[in-house]
Structure 1
């Protein structure tokens, strides 16, 4: 079987209406597949104004905006007749599911009824989100739902071994292939560091810029971030928060960290400049399955202090490229950051070590692993033996 023999129906809860780590990974994957001659059709909710220009053919699935603080995201409840007819016309021979949402469940049932192979990738630890919205008591239920979903597919593709261990702990027995992530090494490099840009934001050359990078949402650990920065400020540590990104919790976060500098949403080479201009990257999130932002900081030569959680544990080498801290241990976070602030040589060596480690992460290699998995799962059973 050749890549050109594949016809992939990819289902996603978000493909182009909000820019985040999962959408970027999926779009890069589709670009790689198309370049190899694979036919791909994406089925996902859409919005009136896309966040960016997407790769490939996109079929809009009816959806509604989520209520409350996460109204920028949309939810599709199923596969209406028009979508089923489009699927029948496209005639996929493999289905890729990127989320265990209602659309993913309906698409999986559709594939199973037709005897089509199905694979699922993991991008977000949805069960951990509930902790930030006062619904933590529902976490076991959401884990059970995800366990059932991933046990119904032919292959699960987590982005790192730590996430593979998590789903095995849930009781998922489906075979696993790691779909790692890559980095744009021309964009994320220490060479893009720009002190003049920092000065324009009001950050002095003698201040250590502690960076936040990503969607400004509470589940990224913003409460812990704020408490740690307050402890550093009370301890006289010359650290300044630099926030790169936008999101619905921006105003709340600004109130919690009043001396923070908000650089707003950055993209392209401007994003590379913003990341390289940090002195330290702080990521207390426990919701990551991989942590693209952590890898971007490392590639830019920035040391990392992160939660000892999925994603970061696969990237950060404690004492070499940064420090890993027990989640929500604000004192330990503050101690780790204060040490890096106080020791410029350590900061420099950690940044250099992170840059070297990040060099091994390439998108072409990561996405080829997915294509190889498609070919293995999709080819007739008789040819596998």
Structure 2
């Protein structure tokens, strides 16, 4: 089986998007399938129309158009479609597998129809909701509604849909998409990368002033929807209850400057540490310093519908997790069993939940073991990848039996 993946961006860029993509492609290769990928003009590393090998994976790059704004998006889709078509010509895939955002699906759809190839469209988040979460969009605005309508249009015309969680699946079914057209392929962890927790580095702990600390950590991107301002705001109450409590923030992003300013103005500024971005190969050293990984996502449509990757990585590292009680977290964490859930958008609730965890360590080992077992059994990429196979086989069989094979009724 030969699968060509159509991506917004990819390696060597580092993000949750690229880590999920790498895991999918590597797991599919291990299954004996041939894979390649095409990255779009939004990859932001303009290498022209090059073909590159990164980490043993083949990426066809798309030259970014010179236009900007709406016309730039249109030109980008056209350029992307041409590049996908060229990759199809050289790679000869059996399946096109496009990944969100919807611009990727639109470009892939052109090629799928022209080449008579089946198209799987995988949605990791709805583009309109991601824009709201990133502060670049407004829920209910004309642009929001138009993007949502475009997404629905593309979903109806793709031959099969994959989503990363039940929240997204339920939303699509509510839009009238047949349930049997959708498969859930949840976020997972590559246990070859996160399977063996690193030993604590005493020198690194000393350099960060965490030698005898009760350490709360966040490792990831600093977006507004992550609720890190609420985590910083919780620290005075947490330190009052647990004087050795410290907060370690590893990463960066749009909220970096605002969070640093907020922390500097905090009465417990000395208890808050910023590390900045670190190479992915160094991340495990920082996980090893943290007692509890905190994920205080704000309550909004994006966080209710979408499951994050980072809590799973923490569980795989044998770490305790505490997270806001939003829909995406509830799909991953069983309160009081594999982790702790606290009220979102509430610094006092965060402080109380974290203080209670540090005050009662009796079941820490059991909770960590159950969380790790959950990842191994239900969120391990080596097994998650099996969820794609029935879709691929069904579409390939339909294409083989009938060269004009049945498309979605939305095309009729």
TM-score (norm 2): 0.78
Q: Does 1:93 align with 2:94?
A: yes
What residue is the counterpart of 2:408 in the other structure?
Answer: none
Q: State the alpha-carbon separation in 2 of the partners of residues 253 and 44 from structure 1.
A: 32
Gaps of 5+ in 1: 68-73
Q: State the alpha-carbon separation in 2 of the partners of residues 128 and 297 from structure 1.
A: 23
Residues 77 and 134 of structure 1: CA distance in aligned 2, closer, same or farther (over 3 Å):
closer
Residues 303 and 140 of structure 1: CA distance in aligned 2, closer, same or farther (over 3 Å):
farther
- Comparing 293-302 with 263-272, greater Cα deviation is found at 263-272
Q: State the alpha-carbon separation in 2 of the partners of residues 316 and 195 from structure 1.
A: 30
Residues 310 and 44 of structure 1: CA distance in aligned 2, closer, same or farther (over 3 Å):
farther
Aligned-residue offset at 1:19: 0.7
Q: State the alpha-carbon separation in 1 of the partners of residues 111 and 216 from structure 2.
A: 47
Question: For 1:28-177, what aligned pairs fall within 5 Å after superposition?
Answer: 28-45=23-40, 46=43, 47=45, 53-63=54-64, 77-80=76-79, 82-83=82-83, 84-126=85-127, 127-133=129-135, 135-137=137-139, 138=141, 139-173=144-178, 175-177=181-183
Contact conserved, 1:193 with 1:273, CA < 8 A, in 2?
Answer: yes
Please say which structure displays the higher CA radius of gyration: 2
Contact conserved, 2:194 with 2:313, CA < 8 A, in 1?
Answer: no
What residue is the counterpart of 2:50 in the other structure?
Answer: none
Aligned-residue offset at 1:55: 4.2
Aligned-residue offset at 1:269: 5.7
Q: Does 1:368 align with 2:374?
A: no
> Over the residues paired in the alignment, what is the CA RMSD in angstroms?
3.4
Contact conserved, 1:132 with 1:218, CA < 8 A, in 2?
Answer: yes
Provide the secondary structure at the position in 2 that maps to 1:359: helix
Question: For 1:165-244, what aligned pairs fall within 5 Å after superposition?
Answer: 165-173=170-178, 175-180=181-186, 181-184=188-191, 187-190=194-197, 192-205=199-212, 207-233=213-239, 238-244=244-250
Q: State the alpha-carbon separation in 1 of the partners of residues 309 and 65 from structure 2.
A: 28
What residue is the counterpart of 2:275 in the other structure?
Answer: 263
Aligned-residue offset at 1:248: 4.1
Aligned-residue offset at 1:151: 2.5
Aligned-residue offset at 1:39: 3.3
Provide the secondary structure at the position in 1 that maps to 2:59: strand
Gaps of 5+ in 2: 48-52, 406-412
- Aligned pair count? 372
Aligned-residue offset at 1:340: 1.0
Provide the secondary structure at the position in 2 that maps to 1:317: coil
TM-score (norm 1): 0.83
Contact conserved, 1:194 with 1:277, CA < 8 A, in 2?
Answer: yes
